[in-house]
Amino acid sequence: MRSETIAVHGGFDHDPTTKAVAVPIYQTVAYEFDSADHAAALFDLEAEGYRYSRIANPTNAVLEKRVAELEGGVGALSVATGQAALYYALANVADHGGNIVAAPTLYGTTHTLLQHVLPRQGVDARFARSTAPEDMARAIDVNTRALFCESVGNPAGNICDVAALAEIAHARGIPLIVDNTVATPALLRPIEHGADIVVHSLIKFMGDTARRLVESSSTAGVSAGAITPNAFRCSTSRTTPTMGSFTSIISAKPLISRGRASSAMSKTLERSPNSSTTIRASPG
């Protein structure tokens, strides 16, 4: 399926109960179980289905599937904000005493998360001297739990060599986490270049929500398999940053318009210095 089609229809065919073609907004916090055994299987993660909306919600699931399909990931998790997605992506892999090796050119609040918030929880950030793969490699030690970069840095506009960073990370047995907010999967699909986890703030080109609904900052993390969606759900279900279903629907809809924004971005990126990471010139 072309990415333009996925952006409109991904993750949803029609509602099996009502045959509605628009994505229903499920404003429920709880779900019925067929039996006690069914409930047990759901809570033991042995059966697919819904338990509480703080863990998963059918409306959010459409957004999650759509973003996962656009990125070529095995699944995704939507949470309330881009910062929440980054926090969970990093906290999910890093334990007390571990560290994250990060590119030095990052969105300001992400820098703050790494430099000030995670260290208070026992997770150190080690900022590489530059985004050059050799500098990133040099910052890794035995306690490094992940490499992290923005595919296109905000606001620096630098382009990271995702393939080279993935190779370095995998040689050390750690995942590469990429914030793909600025590029969007219309221009770059980091998983195709070896990234393990992709994170988005959907308030930018992907969701265009800032212009539509100021409060609906919304984000999805995409797992390529190193961390399963269930593992994500286990940690989030304890801390409840889940997006409301109304926000989810607002976020999923404008994915339709990201092609236009991205082709404008692609013209800018075409003029950027070379990188072995492929930036597609046009969406599709």
Binding site for ligand PLP (CB under 6 A): 81-83, 107, 109-110, 150, 154, 179, 181-182, 201, 203, 217, 219
- Tell me the residue number closest to ligand PLP, measured at CB: 82
Q: Which residues contact 37 (CB under 8 A, 6 or more apart)?
A: none
- Minimum CB separation of residue 217 from ligand PLP in Å reads 4
Rounded Cα–Cα distance for residues 260 and 283 (Å): 9
Rg of the chain on CA atoms, in Å: 19
Q: Between residues 99 and 181, which has the closer beta carbon with respect to ligand PLP?
A: 181
CA-CA distances (angstroms) from residue 196 to 43, 95, 162, 193, 274?
26, 18, 11, 9, 23
Rounded Cα–Cα distance for residues 32 and 220 (Å): 26
- Minimum CB separation of residue 105 from ligand PLP in Å reads 10
- Minimum CB separation of residue 179 from ligand PLP in Å reads 5
Burial class for 116, CB neighbours closer than 10 Å (0-12, 13-18, 19+): exposed
Q: Between residues 114 and 169, which has the closer beta carbon with respect to ligand PLP?
A: 114
Q: Between residues 61 and 152, which has the closer beta carbon with respect to ligand PLP?
A: 152
- Candidates 97, 111, 122; CA nearest to 149 is 111
* CB-CB neighbours of 257 under 10 Å: 16
Q: Between residues 128 and 243, which has the closer beta carbon with respect to ligand PLP?
A: 243
Q: Between residues 107 and 148, which has the closer beta carbon with respect to ligand PLP?
A: 107
- Minimum CB separation of residue 42 from ligand PLP in Å reads 30
Q: Where do we find the tokens 């929500």?
A: 209
- Minimum CB separation of residue 155 from ligand PLP in Å reads 8
The region, left, alpha or beta by phi > 0 then psi within -120 to 50, assigned to residue 104 is alpha
Q: Between residues 154 and 257, which has the closer beta carbon with respect to ligand PLP?
A: 154
- Minimum CB separation of residue 242 from ligand PLP in Å reads 14
